[in-house]
Amino acid sequence: MLASSAKEDDIDHYLDLLDARELADGWTTSDDVEATKPEPDLVQAAVEKAGGGDAVMVGDSTYDCEAAKRAGLETVAVLTGGFSEQELLDAGATQVFESIVALRDSLDSTPLKR
């Protein structure tokens, strides 16, 4: 599930540009909620849309980490959003990875293993 603070038109554009519609079961956008990250609304809407239950946020910004924390979720962060490892940890990330590849190679040591 993708939870983006972008507008729906922007998400549609990027999903088409990247040919990535098949990579996510669904998505929420800023059009779906009153408040976006760092408020928890967008994260909560995504979890609800995915059917509820346990969830883990994968993000690359302090806003992702803060929103997930406020929604009661753990965050695994990646250094692709222009924030430092320490900033992400301070915002609530439980782990920070250098890249998506590093995260993928370490999935068994993350909350995503569950």
Question: pTM of the prediction?
Answer: 0.88
- Whole-number pLDDT of residue 26: 87
Q: How far apart are CA 8 and CA 56, in angstroms?
A: 23
Greatest mean pLDDT among 5-14, 18-27, 47-56, 62-71 lies in: 62-71
Sign of the torsion angle spanned by Cα atoms 41, 42, 43, 48: positive
DSSP string, 53-83: S--EEEESSHHHHHHHHHTT-EEEEETTSS-
